[in-house]
């Protein structure tokens, strides 16, 4: 059975839960397409520790596909990230108290990596199944982008890792209660979406050609 | 068994479904607090026909409580409306092709009516149960406000109608797919919310005192 | 020379300036249409004191037209308010420390008053001159709505007051610097807009018929 | 006299003007810091022609600094772009009718380039002078990002080009009139901002360390 490593984060920024881990933990051990099994992994919301936990799992599990997931409070859909940049610019301290500013994720690494997930096929499938989704062109400059970049850097050196990428998800409704005016998405919808992403990542080797860009 | 009349609308504005009727139709015949039964009613999204259907049901059913529900594409929570105004200013034509501008709902009627639902207790209960909710100070100037005003006008003349009001709800996820950047709420979350609103309307006779205003 | 009373507010909510008074103070004594003169008046951002200052000026000046102006941080255009409601629900304390919740502006007064400014003609003229503008259906439940309602209540009893209403304006750019993601409007643009509103209020006795409503 | 090449775009997307060229054309020939002169250049909003016009000017003028400017309808401040990506994904056709999807700007070029403008010093100075500003982590995937990437690619091969980057600006008020709910910025405010950006680019050789990131 091939493995899909799916990561979620612990809570941060004053939240008591993180929808990424809530969803991923429930998808742990799920069977995808009869051929793959999801392995759920919680990452600390810390610049340093997140990468050691991630790298240990990447080496130990040798997954074929990696889908990292993070909370994006304020977004209204599943945003499949297109590009990871080699830069940390922390707006708030991480859970270990560190707030690095304008330093690279990997010194000497390339400026950016593109996701190797079939982004357009994923968005197309999600929308077809009634799950709001879009391609995003920035994963920010915090721990999410940090993990995303490190993941793609690892992938660039391990051809056995067929495809990898990052997905940002909205607040859960119970979080949005404390953030008036912010959208939310139910956990079951997020779980359906993540499962569809995993299935599409398994099934599609050549992404479809579909406009999903932004003018700015 | 006392009756709670709950109304939803047929689709409008190019949509093929309306979350208000999707939710209300599934709550039809639900038992609330052991003492009340929800009667679901679909209203046409037409200025003229909506009121004849509503008034017929109000007279035939003699409900103790009326909760009218409508779709508010772009809102992210259940917004419990505070005030209905005696004005129609249609931005788009209704489903019968009518687009009245700057005419009253009830000629000679008061400028506005306040909802008689326990707004603050409702918002408090919804938030407690993890359902994003707020008090809204405008129901717009379209068919929703039209029905809301006519309902409150009826209530002002029928003391047996203990409390009445209007609730706006977000797009469903499958609608939001076609409205990029717009928030959504799952039907099950909306149904939970409407049920809690009905329960609170039954249970609370004196609204709680809680700030839920806006500076503008 | 007939008088147009134009009011602005002192700063509130932690701001060190208020664009409404910044603009109105500079328009003080301006001549409009050769027949009217603007009298600028600053109102305290206090529920109680605002009305005593307003009423004193209304009685002393006997203006033909009154345009009250207030800051609406987060809005992006000049919003001409349609309706004042007889309700205070303060989200934050006013500048005197009072935070009334769910009490009427005028006990026993009607639920609401419509503005008597030619709303549609004003929006049409502003847009024609390149000033973003819209009709708004809620002035909130704070001091702005409080003053707006009290003004319309006064107008309902003084037929000599030909027309009166309220306009909400965005942050100034220097305020928006401290509110990331919030729109702003330059003071000169606001001043041009307020002058056009005054001119239209003088010139138009019968409002134009133009759709400017909202579906919710 | 050293040169600052400042580019703006022709109108696109149904607009009859483009604030970037409106502002840049008026800054043409301005003297900056007593040592530099701004050379304004209009770029066609076409993937192909924009680069030939840009490259011709870069080679002919040999500017020390290049500041490319583009319209970002919907944004509320001057956003100084951090990163240009090697990807075109056109949501709409350009002015020549071309709509390339998922192709690189420069085949074989690096995935991305960071701006070499002193981003943080610029944002700090703009905010100090009352001009809303922020660092943005995506310039989109249309002609703006295309020009930005090509510019940084050129800069990477021409060390004489001391610093280069891209700035997105909001709609002008007269455009926002036709885009209800969208923020705007006056042309004079934009011109002040662009002048401050040029001055800061000249004065600051080592960017300041200041958090200006986003969590997602």
Smallest CA–CA separation between B58 and chain A, in Å?
34
Q: Which two tokens stand for residue A178?
A: 């404390």
- How many C-beta atoms surround the C-beta of residue B205 within 10 A? 10
Which other chains touch chain C, taking contact as 3+ CB pairs less than 8 Å apart?
A: B, D
- What is d(CA B150, CA B152) in angstroms, rounded to the nearest whole number? 6
Residue C144 annotated as catalytic = yes
A chain contacts of residue B173, beta-carbon cutoff 8 Å: 130-132, 185, 189
Per-residue pLDDT, B37: 98
Count Cβ neighbours within 10 Å for each residue of D65-86 and write b for 16 or more, e otherwise: bbbbbbbbbbbbbbbbbbbbbb
B chain contacts of residue A135, beta-carbon cutoff 8 Å: none
Q: What is the CATH number of domain B2-203?
A: 3.40.630.20
Per-residue pLDDT, D147: 98
Q: Do A213 and D140 touch (CB under 8 A)?
A: yes
Helix (H) or strand (E) run with residue C51 in it: helix C47-61
Chain B residue with the nearest C-alpha to that of A174:
B130
Cα–Cα nearest to B20, from B64, B71, B54:
B71
Q: Do A99 and D211 touch (CB under 8 A)?
A: yes
Tell me which DSSP letter residue D75 carries: B
Q: Do A183 and B184 touch (CB under 8 A)?
A: yes
- Tally C–D CB contacts below 8 A: 56
Phi, psi (degrees; rounded to nearest 5) at C113: -130, 145
Smallest CA–CA separation between A133 and chain B, in Å?
7
B164 to chain C, any CB pair closer than 8 A? The answer is no
CB B171 within 8 A of CB B73: yes
Residue D45 annotated as catalytic = no
Q: Do B184 and A132 touch (CB under 8 A)?
A: yes
B chain contacts of residue C98, beta-carbon cutoff 8 Å: none
- How many C-beta atoms surround the C-beta of residue C55 within 10 A? 13
CB A34 within 8 A of CB A46: no
Helix (H, G, I), strand (E, B) or coil at C135: strand
- What is d(CA B158, CA D142) in angstroms, rounded to the nearest whole number? 60
- What is d(CA B166, CA B164) in angstroms, rounded to the nearest whole number? 7
Catalytic residue among A36, A146, A153, A168: A168
Residues B149-159: pLDDT tens digits? 999 999 999 99
Q: What's chain D's Rg over C-alpha atoms?
A: 16
Count Cβ neighbours within 10 Å for each residue of B8-26 and write b for 16 or more, e otherwise: bbbbbeebeebbbbbbbeb
Count of alpha carbons within 13 angstroms of residue C38, beta-carbon side: 28
Cα-Cα-Cα-Cα torsion D201, D122, A98, A111, nearest 10 degrees, comes to: -50
Region label for A181, one of left (φ > 0), alpha (ψ between -120 and 50) or beta (otherwise): left
Q: Do B185 and A184 touch (CB under 8 A)?
A: yes
Sequence-ordered list of residues with C-beta below 8 angstroms from that of D155, at least 6 positions apart, any chain: D66, D113, D116, D161, D163, D164
C chain contacts of residue D133, beta-carbon cutoff 8 Å: 177
Q: Residue D30: pLDDT band by 50, 70, 90 thresholds?
A: very high
Per-residue pLDDT, D63: 98
Helix (H, G, I), strand (E, B) or coil at A211: coil
A85 to chain D, any CB pair closer than 8 A? The answer is yes
C chain contacts of residue D177, beta-carbon cutoff 8 Å: 127, 130-133
Q: Do D132 and C186 touch (CB under 8 A)?
A: no
CB B19 within 8 A of CB B78: no
Q: Do B132 and A177 touch (CB under 8 A)?
A: yes
- What is d(CA A7, CA A42) in angstroms, rounded to the nearest whole number? 6
Q: Do D131 and C173 touch (CB under 8 A)?
A: yes
Helix (H, G, I), strand (E, B) or coil at C22: helix
A chain contacts of residue B133, beta-carbon cutoff 8 Å: 177
C-alpha pair distances (Å), C90 with each of A81, B126, B133, C84: 41, 21, 18, 15
Q: Which two tokens stand for residue A83?
A: 């590009």
Q: What's chain A's Rg over C-alpha atoms?
A: 16
Q: Do D173 and C132 touch (CB under 8 A)?
A: yes
B90 to chain C, any CB pair closer than 8 A? The answer is yes
- What is d(CA B85, CA C29) in angstroms, rounded to the nearest whole number? 36
Sequence-ordered list of residues with C-beta below 8 angstroms from that of C90, at least 6 positions apart, any chain: B211, B213, C47, C98, C99, C100, C101, C141, C142
Where are the domains positioned within chain C? 2-203
- How many C-beta atoms surround the C-beta of residue B53 within 10 A? 17
Q: Would you give per-residue pLDDT tens digits along chain A (216 residues)?
A: 999 999 999 999 999 999 999 999 999 999 999 999 999 999 999 999 999 999 999 999 999 999 999 999 999 999 999 999 999 999 999 999 999 999 999 999 999 999 999 999 999 999 999 999 999 999 999 999 999 999 999 999 999 999 999 999 999 999 999 999 999 999 999 999 999 999 999 999 999 999 999 999
B chain contacts of residue C89, beta-carbon cutoff 8 Å: 135, 211-213
Q: Which two tokens stand for residue C11?
A: 């700063």
Strands A36-43 and A65-71: unpaired
Phi, psi (degrees; rounded to nearest 5) at C122: -65, -50
CB A147 within 8 A of CB A46: no
Residues C108-162: pLDDT tens digits? 999 999 999 999 999 999 999 999 999 999 999 999 999 999 999 999 999 999 9
Helix (H, G, I), strand (E, B) or coil at C130: coil
Q: What angle do CA D57, D167, D160 make, to 5 degrees?
A: 40
- How many C-beta atoms surround the C-beta of residue C143 within 10 A? 26
Q: Which two tokens stand for residue D11?
A: 């109108």
A184 to chain B, any CB pair closer than 8 A? The answer is yes
Catalytic residue among B46, B81, B146, B153: B81
Smallest CA–CA separation between A193 and chain B, in Å?
11
Helix (H, G, I), strand (E, B) or coil at C64: coil
Cα–Cα nearest to B20, from B183, B193, B204:
B193
A136 to chain B, any CB pair closer than 8 A? The answer is no
- What is d(CA C74, CA D25) in angstroms, rounded to the nearest whole number? 31
Residues D33-75: pLDDT tens digits? 999 999 999 999 999 999 999 999 999 999 999 999 999 999 9
C chain contacts of residue B92, beta-carbon cutoff 8 Å: 215
D181 to chain C, any CB pair closer than 8 A? The answer is yes
Q: Residue B7: pLDDT band by 50, 70, 90 thresholds?
A: very high
Tell me which DSSP letter residue C170 carries: P
Mutate to test the interface with C, among D16, D23, D76 (most CBs of C within 10 A): D76
For residue D7, list its beta bridge partners.
D41, D68
Catalytic residue among D45, D64, D144, D153: D144
Below-50 pLDDT ranges, chain C? none
A chain contacts of residue B132, beta-carbon cutoff 8 Å: 173, 176-177, 184
This model of the complex carries an ipTM of 0.96
D182 to chain C, any CB pair closer than 8 A? The answer is yes
Per-residue pLDDT, B20: 98
Chain D residue with the nearest C-alpha to that of A71:
D216
Residue B76 annotated as catalytic = no
A89 to chain B, any CB pair closer than 8 A? The answer is no
- What is d(CA D38, CA D28) in angstroms, rounded to the nearest whole number? 5
A189 to chain B, any CB pair closer than 8 A? The answer is yes
Q: What is the largest CA-CA distance in chain A?
A: 45
Phi, psi (degrees; rounded to nearest 5) at A32: -120, 125
CB C216 within 8 A of CB C203: no
- What is d(CA B97, CA D111) in angstroms, rounded to the nearest whole number? 53
Q: Do C182 and D76 touch (CB under 8 A)?
A: yes
Share of chain B above pLDDT 90, in %: 100
D1 to chain A, any CB pair closer than 8 A? The answer is no
CB B1 within 8 A of CB B59: no
Count Cβ neighbours within 10 Å for each residue of C72-87 and write b for 16 or more, e otherwise: bbbbbbbbbbbbbbbb
Per-residue pLDDT, B216: 94
Smallest CA–CA separation between B130 and chain A, in Å?
4
């Amino acid at each position: 059975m091939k493995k899909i490593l799916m990561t979620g984060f612990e809570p941060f920024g004053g939240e008591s839960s993180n929808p990424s881990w809530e969803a991923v933990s429930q998808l742990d051990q799920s069977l995808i397409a009869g051929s793959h099994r999801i392995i759920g992994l919680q990452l600390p919301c810390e610049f340093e520790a997140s990468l050691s936990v991630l790298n240990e799992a990447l080496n130990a599990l040798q997954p074929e596909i990696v889908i990292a997931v993070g909370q994006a409070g304020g977004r209204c859909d599943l945003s499949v990230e297109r590009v990871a940049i080699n830069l940390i610019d922390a707006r708030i301290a991480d859970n270990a108290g560190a707030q690095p500013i304008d330093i690279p994720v990997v010194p000497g690494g390339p400026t950016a990596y593109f996701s190797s997930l079939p982004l357009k096929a994923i968005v197309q499938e999600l929308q077809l199944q009634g799950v709001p989704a879009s391609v995003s062109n920035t994963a920010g400059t915090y721990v999410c982008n940090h993990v995303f970049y490190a993941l793609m850097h690892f992938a660039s050196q391990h051809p056995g890792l067929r495809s990898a990428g990052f997905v940002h998800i909205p607040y859960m409704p119970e979080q949005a209660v404390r953030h008036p005016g912010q959208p939310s998405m139910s956990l079951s919808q997020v779980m359906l979406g993540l499962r569809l992403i995993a299935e599409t990542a398994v099934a599609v080797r050549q992404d479809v050609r579909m406009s999903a860009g932004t003018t700015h």
